[in-house]
Amino acid sequence: NSKLRHVEKDVLIPQIMRERAKELCSDKVQAFTKCCQEMGLLMVVKCRQENTALKDCLVGYYSDPLFYEECKTEYLKQREEYRATGIKKKRQKITSNV
């Protein structure tokens, strides 16, 4: 059954979209993070270009209907596995903490 509940459409699938978009835009995430670290309080003024590039990359994915369908398919697969096994699959988080 692939019928989606409100919370799945409005919360769970967008969460997967955000995580995947951050991974796909990781070069821009890193550039923005680096700029912010180097500029400190001046980041608001000095990192506009990096911030714009990051936003454009993320919004490009968020507004792509094919990307939404890919993430929906991924969610439905995870949901099906969970219903079959009772074991929730955790998405791997990219962490920079060592």
Whether residue 29 has pLDDT greater than 50 = yes
**Could you tell me if 3 and 53 are in contact, meaning their C-beta atoms sit under 8 angstroms apart?**
no
Place of tokens 């074991």: 87
pTM of the model: 0.76
Instruction: Look at residue 74 in the predicted model and tell me its pLDDT.
Output: 94
Torsion-angle region of 36 (φ positive above 0: left; ψ -120 to 50: alpha; else: beta): alpha
Q: Provide the residue range defining the domain that includes 16.
A: 6-70
Number of domains in the chain: 1
Residue 76 belongs to a domain = no
Does a structural domain hold residue 23? yes
Confidence of residue 95 (pLDDT cuts 50, 70, 90): very low
Q: Which residue has the tokens 């967008």?
A: 14
User: What DSSP state is assigned to residue 8?
Assistant: I
The whole-number pLDDT of residue 1 equals 57
* Whether 82 contacts 88, CB under 8 Å: yes
Task: Supply the pLDDT for residue 92.
Answer: 52
Is the pLDDT at 97 greater than 60, yes or no?
Answer: no
The answer to the question of residue 91 being in a domain is no
* 63 found inside a domain: yes
